[in-house]
Amino acid sequence: MPLADHDIEALLNAANRVILGKERQIRLALACLLARGHLLIEDIPGVGKTTLAHVLARLLGLDFQRIQFTSDLLPADILGVSVFDRESGAFRFHPGPVFAQLVLADEVNRATPKAQSALLEAMEERQVTTEGRTRPLPEPFFVIATQNPAHQIGTFPLPESQLDRFLMRIELGYPDRTAERELLAGADRRELVAQLSPCLPPPALLAMQRQVANVHAAPALLDYVQALAEHTRQSADFVAGLSPRAALGLLAAARAWALLEGRDHALPEDIQAVLPSVIGHRLLAPAGPGNGNLARRLIEAVALP
């Protein structure tokens, strides 16, 4: 089996040494990347969102750009701009920060919807069109956006249609007691990040992405995905059901998860593992309990076919 097991293990171990006590989130982030999806990290400031993006960029050897979203950010600040060049006597395009393999869009909900949509369209199309010219974005292309909880002051919450462009949304949460102690006692995180060396070079990453698409999904598994989607569409527990794009995303994420588990076929357990992150930002409960609960309720309401 051509699974790069040791590379994956090494990568995860290295990441876990820098970001303490967040094994599951790191694994999900990697699965998201392998499934060629974009990641949204939602949490309060200071729990390591940016650090996680840095760590992934370093470990995967991807060239990295960070865009700090602010309320006065303009689309050109993201995509790039054409400037008149005196020497050649012509306009020359200066690519924006989005032309990188891993883009960190920090605090994406601080910018105006106009700036947000410039990024999100680039994410969806994997290319940028400015001044009548279309320029492809590099391969692999991976966006990690961080978002502050919507109730914080000065935010423009992303609408559902744009949330749907992110394959997963994860929350980091506070570290537990031992992890926090280690963090406090340990070295500076920024130095640790700087010391990291790539474990999985871009060609290997691309190969693994192709391998994800080959992970077997049996008819019984597809039945299960359909049953889950059907339930969200029929049940009164959800305001609106899962879209076919969401179902596709669920399957892709489950395949990536299975690959990370070292299997060549996906199991219902893989679906269940990625389900909270994949559907959390796509489904709305009519009112009340949190989204984590919603995913749990969905899993427990649908029998394995």
Partner 1 sequence: MRISIAALKPWPCMAKPRKPGAPPLTQGQTVWLAASACGVLVPLAPYLPLWLDALCAVAILWRGWLLWRRVPLPPRWLVNLMAVVGAIGVAIHFRTLLGKDPGVALLTLFLALKLFETRSARDAFAVVLLGFFLILSQFFYTQSMVTAVAMVATTLLVTTTLAVLQRSSTPPLQAVRLAGSMLLQALPFMLLLFLFFPRVSGPLWGLPADAYSGLSGLSDTMSPGSISRLSLSDAIAFRARFTEPPPDQVQLYWRGPVLTRYDGRSWRLGLSGLASEAAAQMAQPVDYEITLEPHNQPWLFALDHPSRLPPNAVLTKNFQVVAKRPVRSRLRYAMQSVLDAHVGRNESADALGEALQLPADFNPRARALAASLRAVSRNDAEVVARMLARFRKETFVYTLSPPLLGRDSVDEFLFDTRRGFCEHYASAFVFVMRAAGIPARVVTGYQGGEVNPVDGYLLVRQLDAHAWTEIWLPQRGWQRVDPTAEIAPNRVEQNLAAAIPQSDALPLMTRPELNWLRQLRYRWEAASNAWNQWVLGYDEQRQYALLRLLGIPSPDWRALGALTATAGGVLMLALTAWTLHQRRRADPLHALWQRFERKLAKRGLGRAMWEGPADYAARLVRALPRREAEIASICTIYQAARYGKLIESAVTRRQQLSELKRRIAAFTS
**Contact footprint for partner 1 (CB under 8 A):** 216, 218, 220-221, 264-269, 272, 299-304
User: Which lies closer to partner 1 via its Cβ, residue 65 or residue 272?
Assistant: 272
Q: Is 94 helix (H, G, I), strand (E, B) or coil?
A: strand
Number of CB atoms found within 10 A of residue 219's CB: 8
CB of 302 to partner 1, least distance (A): 6
Would you say 87 or 300 has its CB closer to partner 1? Answer: 300
Residue 137 to residue 123: CA distance in whole angstroms: 9
- Buried b vs exposed e over 105-131: b needs ≥16 C-beta within 10 Å? bbbbbbbeeebbbbbbbbbeeeebebe
> Which candidate, 136, 133, 146, places its Cα nearest to that of 103?
146
> Minimal distance in Å, beta carbon 231 to partner 1?
11
Q: Cβ closer to partner 1: 19 or 271?
A: 271
Buried b (16+ CB within 10 A) or exposed e, 269-283: ebbbbbbbbbbbbbb
- AA letter at 236: A
Cβ neighbours, 10 Å, residue 161: 9
- Token duo for residue 240: 């609106």
Nearer to partner 1, 231 or 282 (CB): 231
Q: What token pair was written down for 159? A: 């609408």
Least distance in angstroms from the C-beta of 241 to partner 1: 11
Phi/psi at 133 (5° precision): -120, 140
Based on CB atoms, which residue is closest to partner 1, 94 or 233? 233
CB of 288 to partner 1, least distance (A): 14
Closest CB 74 distance from partner 1, rounded Å: 42
CB of 222 to partner 1, least distance (A): 11
137 or 253: whose CB is closer to partner 1? Answer: 253
Q: Which is nearer to partner 1, 119 or 266 (CB)?
A: 266
Of 56 and 260, nearer to partner 1 (C-beta) is 260
CA distances from 19 to 22, 118, 154, 178, 277 (A): 6, 31, 28, 13, 19
**CA proximity to 259, closest of 1, 15, 11:** 1
Q: How far is the CB of 76 from partner 1 (least distance, A)?
A: 43
Q: Which residues pair with 142 in a beta bridge?
A: 102
Give the residue from 246, 208, 163, 165 showing the smallest Cα distance to 31: 208
Nearest-approach distance from CB 262 to partner 1, in angstroms: 12
